[in-house]
Structures are given as C-alpha cells and as structure tokens.
Amino acid sequence: MYRVCLILLAFATACAIAGFPSVLPTKGEVWPRPQMSLTSSTYMVIRPETFRFTTIGQDCDILKAALKRYIGIMFASYSSVELRSQPWRKDGLFRGYLDNVKVNLIAQCEELPHRNMDEQYEIKIDSPDAPLEGTIISHSVWGILRGLESFSHLLLPSGSAYVLNSTQIMDFPRFSFRGLMLDTARHFLPVSKLKENLDLMAMNKLNVFHWHLVDDQSFPYESAAFPNLSKLGSYSSNHVYSAEDVADVVEYARLRGIRVLPEFDTPGHTKSWGPGQPGLLTKCYTNSTPDGTFGPIDPTNDANYKFLQSFFTEVTHRFPDHYVHLGGDEVSFSCWESNPAITQFMAEHNITGNYSKLEEIYITKLLDIVANLPTKNGYLVWQEVFDNGVEVAKDTVVHVWKSSPLWKQEIDEVTSAGYQTVLSSCWYLNYISYGVDWHKYYECDPQEFNGTAAQQQLVLGGEACMWGEYVDRTNLISRTWPRASVVAEKLWSAAAHTADADAAAPRLEEHRCRLLGRGYDVEPLWPSFCPSDL
Amino acid sequence: MYRVCLILLAFATACAIAGFPSVLPTKGEVWPRPQMSLTSSTYMVIRPETFRFTTIGQDCDILKAALKRYIGIMFASYSSVELRSQPWRKDGLFRGYLDNVKVNLIAQCEELPHRNMDEQYEIKIDSPDAPLEGTIISHSVWGILRGLESFSHLLLPSGSAYVLNSTQIMDFPRFSFRGLMLDTARHFLPVSKLKENLDLMAMNKLNVFHWHLVDDQSFPYESAAFPNLSKLGSYSSNHVYSAEDVADVVEYARLRGIRVLPEFDTPGHTKSWGPGQPGLLTKCYTNSTPDGTFGPIDPTNDANYKFLQSFFTEVTHRFPDHYVHLGGDEVSFSCWESNPAITQFMAEHNITGNYSKLEEIYITKLLDIVANLPTKNGYLVWQEVFDNGVEVAKDTVVHVWKSSPLWKQEIDEVTSAGYQTVLSSCWYLNYISYGVDWHKYYECDPQEFNGTAAQQQLVLGGEACMWGEYVDRTNLISRTWPRASVVAEKLWSAAAHTADADAAAPRLEEHRCRLLGRGYDVEPLWPSFCPSDL
C-alpha cells in the first residue's frame, strides 16, 4: 500500500537502510550554519546547577532578558532521554567544567532592532587564546542575541550535564532582511501563537516579522481613531488585536531582535474596511445602479486621503519600525469601470480608460502621505506598484512575489532602476505538496540573477510567506516549521555553504528535533524520530 | 500577493461576499448526516446543572462510561462565546425544559464491537408521540453510542443553557466498515495521540481503527514471546508500545464502539523485523556473496512459519477483533532473485523464475496459520494477494488501495470472485495539496462500479489512510481532521444525501468548529473563524 522508496527519491539512502530513519541527525551543529566555525574533539562540560552567564561589557534590558531566557532554553526544555542515559565520562578529551560564559557587549545597547542593525558575533569556547574559558562577544546587542542562540545549539545533554566541544565561531548574516510573513485576516491567530512563532524566528535568526494584519476577509486590527473598522470588519469582537496586543507583540519581538513590519494593503484587498468606513470603498454598479457590492478604495474621494493620513499616523506610532508595508497588489479594475463617478473623474483628468493610471494616482498620494508623516517612514510595496511605473521614494523596498522563474527578471529590473528589493517568490510556504518539499526552498538564491555588483547590493534579503487561507492556530506552527528554517539558513549563511540541500539535511534533522524538544510542534521532514517526540 | 478568488474556485460565493468567511456554518446539524431527520422550529432548553440521562433499559459498563463522557462533551468543552452572549428568550416556540433524556437500550449489551454490530438508533426530542420528552433508543449499545453523539450535535449554547429543536432522528450506517488507518512505523505516535484520534473517530461515527503497527522503518510493537523484535527494531526503547499500551488502546476504542484491526504486513515491508529475528529475512547477494542487506521474509525457511505461528498467536490474543490485517503488498523480488538458496528451493519446487508463485507459497501458508489459530481469525489483505491469485478463505476482505480510477475495475473483479472488499484508493489522506482538497473525497463512492446487487453487497465500506512518512504527533490531528470527517459522512450517510459536496460544506464547517471547540486541533477548510478558535 505504500512504497516509501518512490516517495523519498531525494534520499538515495532511504531504501537501502532499514529499521532506521532516512536521515541521521548531526550532534551539536548550529543552524543556520555560521560563516566560520572551528570545532575540536576536546570538550568541556556544563552543569546546569552551577552555570551562569557573566556580563563583562555593556548591559541593558534586552540583554538581561535574553540571558534569563537562554538559561531556560538551554536547560529546561531540550532534554534528550537517550543522550541523558549515556552520561559523559572524563577521558583524555575532557578539558574541564565550563561554569561561566562571559558575555561581552562592546558598544552600548540599541533600543530597537532596525534595518541596518549589526548582528555579527563571536563565540570562543576553550579557544587557543583563552583556554578553558567561554565568551560571547559582539559590538551590538543584536549580535549577542544571535550568539546566545548559536551557543545554545552547541550543548548536548549527557547524563545530568551538557557537553560541548571546544569551538570558535565568527558569524554574521549574509542578508540584513530575513523575514517571515503571517496573515491574520483569512484566519485570526491568537497572540500566543504569534509569540510562539516569534520564538521560532529567533531560534532561526530571522529578524523581520511581516504582519499582514487585514485583508478582504476580516479586519482584526483595532484602531483608536477608527474603532468601527474592527467593530464592523472583524470576524467577531473576540477576533481583534487591541492596541495592547500590538504593543505586546512588538515588545516580544524587540526583545528577540525582531522588527515588526505591519502591512495595510490598499487600494485592493480592502473589502473588510468597508463596513466601518462608509465612503472608503468604490461602489460597484450593475446596469447603472449600485449593486450593493464594493471594490477597491475610491481614489476620487478626497476624504479618503484624510482618513488614510489619520489612520497611518496611528499605525506608525504603534509600530516603531522605520518601514511600513503598503501593499498595492492585485487591484481589480472591474468595479472602477462600472462606476459613473469614477468614469467622470477619469475624463476630467484626461485618463479615460487608463485604470493603471488611476491606481497610480492613488498610490502616489498614499506614498506621499506616509513619507510625510511625523515619523517619516519608509515603505515596502508589492511588486505591482513598481511594475505599474508608480514614482516611489528612493529608499522604497520592492517586494517581489510573483512566481518563479520570472522573479529573476523582476529583480533585475527593480535593482536596475536603483530600488532595494526583498524576494518571496520561491518561499510561499502556504503552498503545500506531498513529500520532501524543502529542497526547492534551499535552492533558491535571491542574488542568482544577471545583475551588476551594485544591483546585487540592493537585494536586502528575502521573506517566507505563510498566507492564511488554510492556516490557523491548529496548524500554523507545524506547517510553517521547519520549512521556514530552510529559508532562514539560506538568508543567513554563506552562499557557498548553502549550495547543497542534501548536505544540509542531517543538520536540519538535528535542528528540527531541537525545536521539537523545546516544545514547538514543528513537523517531521521524512521518516524519523526525535528523542523528544513522545 | 494573493488572489483568494482564484484559489477558492469551488466556492462561487468566496469572491462575492467580503469581510466574511467563505462558508457560513449551519447550527445544530448532525454530522454525518442521519438517514432520516425531522426538525421543528419549536425548541426545548437544557440547563447543565439539572440535566441528566436516565437509563430505562439494559445497562452495562460501556453505557455507563458513555453517559458520563457525553455529559462532559456536551457541557464542558463546546462553549461558544458568541452564542452564549445571546441568551435564549422564552417565546411562542419554547416548549419547555428538557431535564432528562431517557436512554433505552432494548437488548443486552455486547462486550466487543464486531463486524456485524448493529449501530441503528432513534432520537426523539418532543416528538408527537412523546411530547416534551427526550429519548435515545436502540437495540444495541453501539446504536446508543452513535445516538449520544448525534444528540450532542443538536445542542446549541445559549446564555448559560443550551437550546435544541424538537427533533426526530432514525439513523443507521450505510456501510458496516468505516475505517481509519494510522501508521506508527514511519513515525511513532504516542498513545495519547492515538486516543485523541479515537475520540475524533467516535465523534464522526467511524468504527474501525486499522493500526499499521510496524514497517520497514521501525518495529514499535513489543512482543512477549519475541522481545528482541522491538528491542532491536524500534527507533528507541521509548518508541515502543508495550502490552499494556495495546490493551489501553483496545479498551479505549471498545468503549467507543471502535474495532482495532492490527496489521502486521509481510513478507515485504519487514526490514525492521530483521535485527530481532535472525534468519527471518532473506539475505541479499551481490556477486555471489551476501552483501549485508536483507529482503522480504525468507519463504524457504521452515523455522519462519513456526515463528509466525507463535507471533500471531500472541497478536490475536492481544487484539480481540475477529480480523487481522496481514498486508501482503509490494513485495520486491530482486533480493529473492539474488539468493542461491532461494533459487535452489524454487528449482526443487518446479517454480524456477516464478517469484509470484514463491510469494503465493508464503502467503498461502501464512493465511492457513492465521485461520487455524485457536482464535480462528479472519483476515484482510492488500489487493496484491488477490491480484496474484493466491487462494484465500471465503470470508477474506480484500483491501483495495491502488489509485483511481482503476479501483472500480479492481472492486468489480474482487466482488465477482465472491470476496468482500474495503476501499481506500480515493482516501489516502496523507497525500496533501494546496487549497480545498476534500471534494474529491466526498465524491468517491465505493459502490459506484458496474456490478450486480450481490457484488455491491460485498462492499463492506471504506477506510481513510494516513501514512506516516510526514506525520507525527505534531501534525497528525490537524492533517487527518476534518478531512477524515468527509470520508466518515460518505461511509455513514445515504448515497442520495452525499451526492453534493457544496451542499455539505456549511454542515462540515459547523462540525469543524464543533470539534475545535471540543479541544481538538482540526484544521480549517477555507477562510473562516470559529467562536472557539482563539
């Protein structure tokens, strides 16, 4: 009834070995793979009851919270029954107990993670220049966070202690923008699940949570200035993110070095805005009379721009990141075409029949509003805004999403025009299929297009997207992870180190078991077991 | 970045209505749909604090446990904030409080669910012949269990009480075999997850848990007579089902009217049996020497049949169902071809080169062993055993699994030959794809083949299969449910009532929210919300 060999074509060993999982995990490897790493066979031993971190440089709330958090992550959650049952034994390779890891933050803490944050760090465990010592060093608190995560990967439970090899790591990300998008409009996701997802992002060194807050189906974002938007546009009064919820998520992310990038997509994908803001959406007509349905935001109504100004003023106060995502994708013209007031407006502006131009008028005004808010925000837009020739600010980030292989041409064009870009085309994780499906994620490289070095520099990174049509709290974590881990390594690690998916598989298997052991429902990649999957 | 209208082609309404989920749930409909049901707009009200079931017929442990269980299911878990916030009001349609539902089991309890069990039941709530009363009636405790489940679907939370309409239901299953298969060899599934799945099976009136216990990858079944099988063949000593675990699962299923059908698939899919039972598997040869790998069970070794007799004697004592599943699928001949002892045996038996015949010799002996155990078991086999012309006992059930549309021809041939059959071809739930994927499950009918009425009678039912290559405790429930609910309705309800998937959608949406409200991670079917999905 099932020929497993046919399914696991990607793994030549799957049919040959019997009574075993397809891929055997590594032990104590860091995911995503560090830029440089040296490991000896000698080892030190950590005893949870005596171990502590010592801050020897700068300090701040983010660092304090992180040290406390990692003690929990390292010692409480990840218990491997099997490894624990084989306690370490002092032998010739034993170098000593590591009771203290020094945390050396060289420069002052920053308060907020940002687009240019420095995430470089160094780890030295029993290194030649500091034998028997352990240190995590960085010029930035963000680097310390990344270093703590890597350090936690080195530990292997053994009896009542943990062993770790003498190790030196010098690490930094390949890309500065390493994102994950969740959609809370097709299905509401409780704040607890958003936080679980932020935990997992931090454990994979992703640094941008793109929050697609609202869409046609529902408006779960509570605005103080326009409370009717969620009152009339959410699924129910319980399916709403209050100002406190948003602040809670932003703070949770901040402590983990993760930016929160809110998206309010307009002028399309806005049906749920309609009930709470009369006049905002275009009335659609059938046989010269309004038919009760609504289209995109009405770009001819001046009141709408005032509304948008107030609305985004509030948004940019609640979300401290420099960038907001303004959407701009998939605008359907049929409703505009049906509406006589729109037709008249277009005639008056000499753009009769040119609906792309009408869209451009709207987008241009919106971008102008957002760029001139007191917070002077920058913005991301979906690729259509660029494709339609809208004039955008120089620091705009064009979000490329249309599917492979056209994205290479698109990225070439966007960067030729001098704009920054983020790639999602190959990382739509909501598209599921049967079998081992992550190789294609690992084999996609945002810089693999014909472009000059200057163009390559404009590629900020990429973003995995989990659209929510078929995803809610029941399957969010298992469907997103560890598939998003694959994207995370691709965006963090060196191109030369991420060329071969098969080579990554044993490390990915270890990382999956690690995350499962920490209490997250990350799904399996192939026939396998984890010590903690009981 | 996402055109939801393109995805939800199956639902014409998905693009038209905005700010709403695609499919609006029914309220108080029973899933799977009963054979006959009459509902009035008048209603009664149940107050949890005073409500009780009263046994007025026979009684037994199964019934006692069920009544206690359903009080919990009805009142504790399924709380709808939204409905509760709109308490019922006494109006002209209010008929009175229903403080007592009589449970009338007419004949004596049976101890074990079995292949011919009677599952028919009747529910009367404020019926013309018994106004203001509530009764669940059946000739069999299994019918009472099904009736209790249906009864629980009628209740709608309202304020601190529940309302239910005046209702008459006369119900029985279309098919006697309504199964779900789980695979605990590719990934181990903890007993707690097996029980969760049994809960959900009962809530969908499925009655056969087909437990694919072992396979190439691991042998998690602990045998008292042959402890080395799991000691050397399981993923780890923790990834094992003890005799107590098995008894626990069988008892849990029994109390819910669910048969447990164990499968020990041979002679292929047995690599994990090898380490614990030397001599069992065929040694494979390369260049005339054993190469260290192993093939199917060695059919030429007489000791193997003694082993199988002892092994299955124990199995049939632990699993009380009349049937065991003996597998028999996908036997690869290449290892047999390489082995000189096999070649010699075949020459001696005048079957040189005819490996199907060799397989038949094995299977015939095995079937004979199992049929003559003290427990006189019947067996299911995968379709290859029939396809290869093996002589099987008359009450054999041939399990058809090869993919559509060939299954119609296969079922025709199997039933023409006079054998009973169970269909799985269209219900391999492990095969996932993007979007709304359940229509095809609903549109598959096991009796939709060209066959005489006598042939149709031999179709016992069907079985959804969830093979475990990519499924473990993290995603078992969300991936299996509510997709298995679709199969459950197809197998329980009248053919005429299950012809239209679109018509079923609103009821399926209610049922999904019901199961979620009861605490199970059943995944969403489309953009939607449930009162309890927070």
What is the chain B residue with the closest CA to A524?
A: B470
User: In this complex, do B432 and A433 lie within 8 Å of one another by their Cβ atoms?
Assistant: yes
Exposure pattern of A259-286 as b/e (b: 16+ CB <10 Å)? Answer: bbbbbbbbbbbbbbbbbbbeebbbbbbe
Distance from CA of A97 to the nearest CA of B (A): 30
Asked whether residue B12 carries a pLDDT value surpassing 60, the answer given is no
CATH of the domain at B106: 3.30.379.10
Work out the pLDDT band at A21, boundaries 50, 70, 90.
low
- The whole-angstrom separation of Cα B122 and Cα B146 is 10
Q: Which of B82, B111, B244, B330 is catalytic?
A: B330
pLDDT digits (tens, 9 = 90+) for A491-500: 999 999 999 9
What is the chain A residue with the closest CA to B82?
A: A236
User: In this complex, do A529 and B218 lie within 8 Å of one another by their Cβ atoms?
Assistant: yes
For residues B127-133, average pLDDT: 96
B286 and B205 housed in the same domain: yes
Distance from CA of B15 to the nearest CA of A (A): 9
Q: What is the DSSP string of B497-508?
A: GGS-HHHHHHHH
Q: Which of A330, A348, A391, A469 is catalytic?
A: A330
- The whole-angstrom separation of Cα A38 and Cα B430 is 42
CATH of the domain at B240: 3.20.20.80
Strands B161-171 and B36-46, by their bridges, are antiparallel
User: In this complex, do B524 and A21 lie within 8 Å of one another by their Cβ atoms?
Assistant: no
Mean pLDDT of all residues in chain B?
93
What is the chain B residue with the closest CA to A284?
A: B16
For residues A36-41, average pLDDT: 97
Distance from CA of B203 to the nearest CA of A (A): 18
Cβ contacts of A269 on chain B, cutoff 8 Å: 2
Work out the pLDDT band at B532, boundaries 50, 70, 90.
confident
Radius of gyration of chain A, Cα coordinates, nearest whole angstrom: 25
Asked whether residue B21 carries a pLDDT value surpassing 90, the answer given is no
The minimal CB distance from B4 to the residues A216, A219, A471 is found for A216
Distance from CA of A21 to the nearest CA of B (A): 6
pLDDT digits (tens, 9 = 90+) for B478-490: 999 999 999 999 9
Of A171, A189, A206, the domain-final residue: A171
The minimal CB distance from B16 to the residues A82, A269, A293 is found for A293
Residue B411 forms part of a structural domain: no
Residue B408 forms part of a structural domain: no
For residues B512-530, average pLDDT: 95
pLDDT, residue A12, reads: 31
Find out whether A40 and A166 touch, Cβ atoms under 8 Å. Answer: yes
Q: How far is CA A482 from the centre of its chain?
A: 13
User: In this complex, do B474 and A18 lie within 8 Å of one another by their Cβ atoms?
Assistant: no
The minimal CB distance from B529 to the residues A187, A232, A471 is found for A187
B101 and B202 housed in the same domain: no
B7 and B38 housed in the same domain: no
Which amino acid is present at A240? V
Cβ pairs A/B, distance under 8 A: 207
A105 and A230 housed in the same domain: no
A461 and A325 housed in the same domain: yes
- The whole-angstrom separation of Cα A178 and Cα A119 is 12
Cβ contacts of B435 on chain A, cutoff 8 Å: 469-470
What is the chain B residue with the closest CA to A295?
A: B18
Residue A7 forms part of a structural domain: yes
A295 and A333 housed in the same domain: yes
Name the residue with tokens 């079998």: A435
**A141, A198, B464, B467 from B184: Cα distances, Å:** 45, 31, 15, 9
A109 and A42 housed in the same domain: yes
Domain count, chain B: 3
What share of chain B has pLDDT > 90, as a percent?
88
What is the chain A residue with the closest CA to B294?
A: A18
Residue A385 forms part of a structural domain: no
- The whole-angstrom separation of Cα B91 and Cα A502 is 68
Q: Report pTM.
A: 0.95
pLDDT digits (tens, 9 = 90+) for B163-186: 999 999 999 999 999 999 999 999
For residues B189-199, average pLDDT: 98
- The whole-angstrom separation of Cα B249 and Cα B267 is 26
pLDDT digits (tens, 9 = 90+) for A251-284: 999 999 999 999 999 999 999 999 999 999 999 9
Asked whether residue B5 carries a pLDDT value surpassing 60, the answer given is no
Asked whether residue B206 carries a pLDDT value surpassing 80, the answer given is yes
The minimal CB distance from A533 to the residues B293, B432, B473 is found for B473
For residues B436-457, average pLDDT: 96
The minimal CB distance from A478 to the residues B2, B20, B474 is found for B474
- The whole-angstrom separation of Cα A511 and Cα A106 is 30
Domain residues for A511? 1-28+502-534
Interface test with B, best of A469, A473, A509, A513 (most B CBs within 10 A): A469
The minimal CB distance from B275 to the residues A4, A16, A19 is found for A19
pLDDT digits (tens, 9 = 90+) for B396-444: 999 999 986 689 999 999 999 999 999 999 999 999 999 999 999 999 9
pLDDT, residue A88, reads: 85
DSSP summary character for residue B73: I
Cβ contacts of A3 on chain B, cutoff 8 Å: 330
Q: What is chain A's length? A: 534
Cβ contacts of B531 on chain A, cutoff 8 Å: 236, 238
pLDDT digits (tens, 9 = 90+) for B236-284: 999 999 999 999 999 999 999 999 999 999 999 999 999 999 999 999 9
Distance from CA of B511 to the nearest CA of A (A): 15
Asked whether residue B20 carries a pLDDT value surpassing 70, the answer given is no
B156 and B56 housed in the same domain: yes
In chain B, helix, strand, coil percent, each to 5?
A: 35, 20, 45
User: In this complex, do A2 and B467 lie within 8 Å of one another by their Cβ atoms?
Assistant: yes
Q: What is the DSSP string of A139-188?
A: SSHHHHHHHHHHHHHH-EEETTEEEEEEEEEEE--S-SEEEEEEE-SSS-
Find out whether B249 and B260 touch, Cβ atoms under 8 Å. Answer: yes
Of the two residues B13 and A456, the one the predictor is more confident about is A456
pLDDT, residue A8, reads: 34
For residues A444-472, average pLDDT: 97
User: In this complex, do A533 and B472 lie within 8 Å of one another by their Cβ atoms?
Assistant: yes
pLDDT, residue B533, reads: 81
Kindly give, in sequence order, each residue whose CB lies less than 8 Å from that of residue B111, ignoring residues fewer than 6 positions away: B254
User: In this complex, do A534 and B275 lie within 8 Å of one another by their Cβ atoms?
Assistant: no
Distance from CA of B168 to the nearest CA of A (A): 33
Q: Phi first, then psi: give them for residue B446, nearest 5 degrees.
A: -60, -20
pLDDT, residue A84, reads: 64
pLDDT, residue A15, reads: 33
Residue A89 forms part of a structural domain: yes
A213 and A89 housed in the same domain: no
Kindly give, in sequence order, each residue whose CB lies less than 8 Å from that of residue B81, ignoring residues fewer than 6 positions away: A236, A238, B531, B532
pLDDT, residue A38, reads: 97
Least confidently predicted of A1-10, A72-81, A221-230: A1-10
pLDDT digits (tens, 9 = 90+) for B356-398: 999 999 999 999 999 999 999 999 999 999 999 888 889 899 9
- Token readout for B497 is 């009532």
Interface test with A, best of B214, B383, B402, B469 (most A CBs within 10 A): B469
User: In this complex, do A521 and B329 lie within 8 Å of one another by their Cβ atoms?
Assistant: no
Which amino acid is present at B385? V
Interface test with A, best of B425, B474, B516 (most A CBs within 10 A): B474
A462 and A313 housed in the same domain: yes
- The whole-angstrom separation of Cα B69 and Cα B74 is 9
Residue A406 forms part of a structural domain: no
Question: Is the torsion defined by CA of A283, A286, A289, A291 positive or negative?
Answer: negative
Distance from CA of B180 to the nearest CA of A (A): 14
> B330 an active-site residue?
yes
User: In this complex, do B469 and A533 lie within 8 Å of one another by their Cβ atoms?
Assistant: no
Q: Phi first, then psi: give them for residue A212, nearest 5 degrees.
A: -80, 90
pLDDT, residue A77, reads: 53
User: In this complex, do A531 and B467 lie within 8 Å of one another by their Cβ atoms?
Assistant: no
Asked whether residue A82 carries a pLDDT value surpassing 80, the answer given is no
Distance from CA of B257 to the nearest CA of A (A): 26
Q: What is chain B's length? A: 534
- The whole-angstrom separation of Cα B278 and Cα B229 is 10
Mean pLDDT of all residues in chain A?
93
pLDDT, residue A1, reads: 46
User: In this complex, do A475 and B474 lie within 8 Å of one another by their Cβ atoms?
Assistant: no
Q: Phi first, then psi: give them for residue B197, nearest 5 degrees.
A: -65, -35
The minimal CB distance from B216 to the residues A18, A523, A526 is found for A18
Which among B355, B316, B318, B317 is positioned nearest to B335, based on CA atoms?
A: B355
B141 and B206 housed in the same domain: no
Strands B397-400 and B156-158, by their bridges, are unpaired
pLDDT digits (tens, 9 = 90+) for A515-526: 999 999 999 999
User: In this complex, do B470 and A435 lie within 8 Å of one another by their Cβ atoms?
Assistant: yes
Asked whether residue B1 carries a pLDDT value surpassing 90, the answer given is no
* A245-250, long-range: CB < 8 A, 24+ apart: A245/A191, A246/A221, A246/A318, A246/A319, A247/A318, A248/A191, A249/A191, A249/A194, A249/A195, A249/A198, A249/A209, A249/A211, A250/A318, A250/A319, A250/A320
Burial category of B49 from C-beta neighbours within 10 Å (exposed 0-12, middle 13-18, buried 19 and up): exposed
**Helix axis angle, B483-492 to B191-203, nearest 10°:** 40
pLDDT, residue A9, reads: 32
pLDDT, residue B426, reads: 96
Cβ contacts of A190 on chain B, cutoff 8 Å: 534
What is the chain A residue with the closest CA to B191?
A: A534
User: In this complex, do A1 and B274 lie within 8 Å of one another by their Cβ atoms?
Assistant: no
Q: What is the DSSP string of A329-397?
A: -----HHHHH-HHHHHHHHHTT-TT-HHHHHHHHHHHHHHHHHTSTT--EEEEEHHHHHTT----TT-E
Residue A131 forms part of a structural domain: yes
Work out the pLDDT band at A86, boundaries 50, 70, 90.
confident
Cβ contacts of B532 on chain A, cutoff 8 Å: none
Residue A234 forms part of a structural domain: yes
Distance from CA of A191 to the nearest CA of B (A): 9
For residues B457-476, average pLDDT: 98
Cβ contacts of A433 on chain B, cutoff 8 Å: 432-434
pLDDT, residue B391, reads: 85
A62 and A201 housed in the same domain: no
Asked whether residue B511 carries a pLDDT value surpassing 60, the answer given is yes
